[in-house]
Amino acid sequence: MTATHTAPAAAIEVAQLHPDALDIGENVRDSVDLAQTPDFVESIRENGVLEAISAVRTADGTIVVRDGQRRTLAARETGLTTIPVVIYPDTEGSDKARAVDRIGKQITANRHREGLTAAQHTRGVAQMLEFGASITKVSKTLAMDKKDVKAQAAVGKAEAARAALDAGQLDLAHAAVVAEFEEAGDTEAVEKLLTTRPYNFDHVAERLRGLREEREAYARAMVSPVFRNQL
């Protein structure tokens, strides 16, 4: 019998590294203002980084932060020379798969800390789908209902809808409706919906859909052979 051998799995590393040695990389938390969390920064200054940074070592040797953006930035801010880092091997086969894995883990990790803003969350969901993840995969990764995945993905691609959701002006369902009109390029309808009271929102949205359908029907009629023959 011929013995079979499997290659050993790449090892996880644990190291103490200078924070400048880490590449922050892309993050669903697209902005960090340390001035808004002075207690957090002071805790890092006094106690160091107590929870290890999670990072991935890429093929070229770069160590890219996956979980710990704020801790790394605070460590740099306070002049720490070493921080604990758990370095995982890069197991994804493509840039898109790597991005889906990164975004999913960052959203999950941040749910239980200083939460992502609603806009950051929706944009992350949209990015996962844009990188090729299926709705089912995103749903399982983030423990979300598929209907909510679709709604968040729509809002995540629509700037006005995303901003209104983040500001608490709209809930997710209403933000998804705004995103519908925003994607269609109907800025007038978007402006109308953003100034509509919640109790009247659904009625106004249906009326705007009806007007849109009428415009589309008229545009189709204008280019039909029957119409042209009547000219």
Q: Which of 136, 106, 113, 138 is nearest to 125 (CA)?
A: 138
* Cβ(177)–Cβ(198) below 8 Å: no
Query: Which CATH architecture best describes the domain 10-91?
Result: Alpha-Beta Complex (3.90)
Cα separation, 210 vs 5, whole angstroms: 65
Burial category of 181 from C-beta neighbours within 10 Å (exposed 0-12, middle 13-18, buried 19 and up) = buried
Question: For residue range 115-144, what is the model confidence (pLDDT) as tens digits?
Answer: 678 888 888 889 888 888 899 988 888 878
Sheet holding 63-67, edge to edge: 13-17, 83-89, 53-57, 63-67
pTM higher than 0.75: no
Domain ranges within the chain, ordered by starting residue: 10-91, 96-156, 158-231
Position with higher pLDDT, 184 vs 142 = 184
Question: For residue range 140-179, what is the model confidence (pLDDT) as tens digits?
Answer: 888 788 999 999 989 988 999 999 988 889 898 999 999 9
Strands 53-57, 63-67: pairing is antiparallel
CA distances from 153 to 98, 112, 121, 171, 176 (A): 19, 21, 9, 14, 9
- Annotate 78-117 with b (16+ C-beta within 10 A) or e (fewer): bebeebbbbbeeeeeeeeeebbbbbbbbbbeebeeeeebb
Average pLDDT of the chain?
A: 82
